[in-house]
Amino acid sequence: MADILFTQIASENIRSGTDLIQTSGRETIGKAPGLYVADAAANAALFAAHPRFVARSSNGRHFRALPEDGRIQVDISGAKGDGVTDDGPAIRAAVAYAAAIGAQGVRFGQQRYRMESMTFAESGVATGAQASLALTSNVVHDFGGVELVRQLNGGGIAFSPASPAAMASFPIVADVQAGDITVRLAATDAAQLAPGNTVFWMLGELPYDTPETLNWDIAKVVAVSGEYVTLDKPIPEGLTLSSVTGPNKRLVKIGILTNCALRDFTITASNVEYGVAVYGGKRITLERVGGSNLGAGLFAGQYCDGVSLIDCWQDGVVLSQASFGAAFGFAECRNVSIVRPHARSILNLVKAEAGAEVSVLGGHFENTITNQSGQSLGTDVAVILAVGKASVSVHDLTVTGHGGYRLAETSNGAANYSGTVHFSGITRLRHPADPWSIPVTQMSGRLDMILGGIREIYDFDRLRHWKRRFALRDNQSVYAFGPPGIMVRANIYAAEGLSAGVGQQLTGFWLGRAGDNGYNLANGVNGQIVAGQNASLPIYGGAVAGVHWAQRNQQFQILCTTSATGGLDQAAKFVEFEAWFAPLVDASYAMTEKDWRGAGADRDFREAHFPAFDLPAIPAGASATIELPIPAMMAGDFVDAVRVTGEMGALHLSAAEARNGFVRLTFGNAGAVALDPPAMQLAVSYSTPQAGN
């Protein structure tokens, strides 16, 4: 039949033998033409369930829409695709019809569709307005590059499950042992399960968010016998029911979304929390899916095993609200891979919690989020957030924007539930100023930074080792000088029985950079030296680390001070410091060969002694430079340590420089009065590079 519209089929008397109709449009010629067939599947029941796609002729024959290349065109459902009309009902109807006839999803004929929230009655979800598109298993939802627009609020665009009504929660009534495959329920609960049902167990709770748990997995029911339910895999950790006060000691019956892929669409919305959300899924894939101005993020996954996000992005452009969450968020998820993600103007690129395990490859994060006054959100921004024993590995990450962020955050304040983050490959930072914090202890590969137009590249795979032992004597100030570069790891060991702190044997062990010792390990609330123990020191990078970060390419320096009456001369006490530095391997400014080779181990170590050195008087706030003869010293030598025995008061050593035949020392007076100390003992440790090094 020619030039018939879908809406005209009801008025036509279509004779037997005409089983295929090509329409010229749905309601208007040229708009949504389609092919309709009268076959065994085209019946009254299908007509009642899907009236947008099935028509009944005037003589009672039913014709149903056929897929085009395996997919149902949403326009034949009545979708306008003008970006103004709410096409949500038409799109949902197309998805439902495609699932009913076994088609491979839907197809979009236009470039932009408006898709508003369901009402409570449509969704059947007790939480109110929810997402517009319920996902189905074993389907590739290929959207063909369409833009889905939402102007009102709601939970999201695409989601699973279709309704919490499909879930049933069954409390476990007996303790579980590690390795158990059988759990005990109330008899009435067990009767609601049958072999082949999909469940996941939720056993135990995190201390800060009781709906979440670390011990979970998806399983199949193998057998049900009275109160006992047998699963197809063992539970790895036991649980004593009395240890959990909340609900997470249960089996949850749920239809898991499996083998579902979404491709090629963009979500543009205002006041919408997320784009795609999956609660309970296996083998979920998103390819080339993006979101604009989504509040909580593009993808939210919970209780998912196997998620792949490829070339997905979120642009948090502020319209009526700021994007307040993570572009990609996961809780209780494993086997998650995110390939080439991109996010801008949002708080996090990735947020992982409740034991989620995530791998990121080749990401880009633009830190451009601001408040309504146009100010950067600073430390509220964490590129990678991994808490609640979650773990995230990041390979080849680029961060650009305004600066003022944390590269990673692993703690939410709950003790013993921190997460882990590791950066590998090349981590690129491009900002006007230093970030707030960089987790240098969690990095390998290279850190490539352009900060304020200055480029620095550090190699974390070839760390330089530096070690110094301080033999302690009474009334000493020992200055030791180490290599430049980013300190990545550091340990300190104090001999047994050594007391450290104000008024103790070891009064100070200060870490810093050349001329600025600012971090005392012995005194105050930061005291970390414990006699007889090898303590690992916390290391930070970024503005929060003060001089240790800002002067990262200055020579490392230690000042070790002792009490005048500590009884150390015959006690054989010592402190040993050991550190590893990431060296600067390429930069847009030059450093001397002497600086680079200063950390090398192939050196000829020597020491010069000056038993009665009389320092001249130094006015308050001034400094004095002295030169001590050391005939064997050359200008290319390294001054490794200067030991001063005697009363220093407010004096400090601010510089030590090797010269031909002598050493040049600069002492400063930080006090308010002139100082003229008595003669003191001086020793200068220095070393000469061996040939070829």
CB contact at 8 A, 656 and 665: yes
pLDDT at position 19:
85
Beta strands 62-65; 35-37: pairing state: antiparallel
Position 318 confidence tier, pLDDT thresholds 50, 70, 90: low
Residue 649 lies in a domain: yes
Q: Which of 164-168, 278-282, 565-569, 689-693 has the weakest average pLDDT?
A: 689-693
pLDDT at position 258:
92
pLDDT at position 196:
92
pLDDT at position 123:
35
Report the alpha-carbon distance of residue 487 to residue 440 in Å, rounded. Answer: 8
549 and 504 assigned to the same domain = yes
pLDDT at position 603:
55
pLDDT at position 549:
78
pLDDT at position 546:
47
Those residues with Cβ within 8 angstroms of residue 569's Cβ, 6 or more apart along the chain or in another chain: 473, 474
CB contact at 8 A, 458 and 583: yes
The two three-digit tokens of residue 72, written as one number = 């149902």
The three-class DSSP label of residue 673 is: coil
354: closest CA among 370, 330, 374, 377? 330
Report which listed range, 79-83, 329-333, 462-466, 530-534, is most confident: 329-333
The three-class DSSP label of residue 74 is: helix
Q: What percent of the chain has pLDDT over 70?
A: 88
Residue 556 lies in a domain: yes
555 and 679 assigned to the same domain = no
CATH number at residue 541: 2.60.120
Domain end marker among 231, 253, 275: 253
CB contact at 8 A, 95 and 105: yes
pLDDT in tens, 37-55: 989 888 999 999 999 999 8
522 and 617 assigned to the same domain = no
Beta strands 72-73; 54-56: pairing state: unpaired
Q: Which residue has the higher pLDDT, 128 or 378?
A: 378
What is the DSSP secondary structure assignment for residue 583, as one 8-state letter? P
Q: Is the pLDDT of residue 542 over 50?
A: yes
Q: Is the pLDDT of residue 684 over 80?
A: yes
pLDDT at position 600:
45
Residue 650 lies in a domain: yes
- The residue segments making up the domain with residue 76 are 6-80+94-112
pLDDT in tens, 610-633: 988 888 899 998 999 999 999 888
Q: Is the pLDDT of residue 332 over 60?
A: yes
The two three-digit tokens of residue 266, written as one number = 């963009």
Q: Which of 116-130, 285-299, 327-341, 419-433 has the weakest average pLDDT?
A: 116-130
Element (H, E) at 407: strand 406-409
Rounded to two decimals, the pTM is 0.82
676 and 588 assigned to the same domain = no
Report the alpha-carbon distance of residue 640 to residue 594 in Å, rounded. Answer: 13
Domain end marker among 203, 237, 253: 253
Domain end marker among 197, 220, 253: 253
pLDDT at position 2:
55
532 and 554 assigned to the same domain = yes
554 and 677 assigned to the same domain = no
Q: Is the pLDDT of residue 202 over 60?
A: yes
Strands (E), 412-555: 420-431, 446-451, 454-459, 464-471, 476-481, 486-494, 506-513, 516-520, 534-536
483 and 497 assigned to the same domain = yes
Residue 592 lies in a domain: yes
Report the alpha-carbon distance of residue 266 to residue 290 in Å, rounded. Answer: 5
What is the average pLDDT score of the chain? Answer: 85
CB contact at 8 A, 251 and 183: yes
Total domain count for the chain? 4
Report the alpha-carbon distance of residue 170 to residue 184 in Å, rounded. Answer: 10
Report which listed range, 80-89, 102-111, 345-354, 671-680, is most confident: 345-354
Q: Which residue has the higher pLDDT, 688 or 228?
A: 228
238 C-beta neighbours (distance < 10 Å), count: 14
CB contact at 8 A, 176 and 300: no
Those residues with Cβ within 8 angstroms of residue 258's Cβ, 6 or more apart along the chain or in another chain: 137, 138, 281, 282, 283
Q: 3-class secondary structure for 202-261?
A: EECCCCCCCCCCCEEEEEEEEEEECCEEEECCCCCCCECHHHCCCCCEEEEECCCEEEEE
Residue 281 lies in a domain: no
Return the bridge partners of 292, or none. Answer: 268, 315
581 and 655 assigned to the same domain = no
Return the bridge partners of 471, or none. Answer: 574
Please provide residue 374's backbone torsions phi and psi, each rounded to the nearest 5 degrees: 80, 15
Residue 34 lies in a domain: yes
Q: Which of 15-29, 360-374, 388-402, 538-552 has the weakest average pLDDT?
A: 538-552
How many residues appear in the chain?
Answer: 693
pLDDT at position 593:
46
Cα 120 to the chain's mean position, in Å?
35
196 and 222 assigned to the same domain = yes
369: closest CA among 351, 348, 344? 344
Got the DSSP string for 587-647? ESS---HHHHHTT-S-EEEEEEEEEEE-PPPB-TT-EEEEEEE-TT--TT-EEEEEEEES-
Residue with tokens 């309601």: 27
pLDDT in tens, 136-158: 888 888 888 988 887 766 666 77
Return the bridge partners of 519, or none. Answer: 511
Residue 136 lies in a domain: no
Find the angle CA(80)-CA(81)-CA(82) to the nearest 5 degrees: 90
Please provide residue 444's backbone torsions phi and psi, each rounded to the nearest 5 degrees: -135, 180
632 and 680 assigned to the same domain = yes
Position 319 confidence tier, pLDDT thresholds 50, 70, 90: very low
Q: What is the CA radius of gyration of the chain?
A: 35
CATH number at residue 668: 2.60.40
545: closest CA among 437, 400, 688? 437
pLDDT in tens, 240-292: 999 888 888 999 998 889 999 999 999 887 666 778 889 899 999 999 999 88
527 and 507 assigned to the same domain = yes
User: Exposed, middle or buried, 565 (CB in 10 Å: 0-12/13-18/19+)?
Assistant: exposed
Position 525 confidence tier, pLDDT thresholds 50, 70, 90: low
What is the DSSP secondary structure assignment for residue 568, as one 8-state letter? -
Residue 572 lies in a domain: yes
Q: What percent of the chain has pLDDT over 90?
A: 36
Got the DSSP string for 461-501? SSPEEEEEEEE--TTEEEEEE---SEEEEEEEEE-TT--BS
CB contact at 8 A, 95 and 104: no
pLDDT in tens, 386-437: 999 999 999 999 999 987 888 999 987 777 788 999 999 999 999 988 888 8
612 and 546 assigned to the same domain = no
Q: Which residue has the higher pLDDT, 145 or 296?
A: 145
The two three-digit tokens of residue 547, written as one number = 């001089």
pLDDT at position 572:
87
256: closest CA among 321, 313, 195, 305? 305
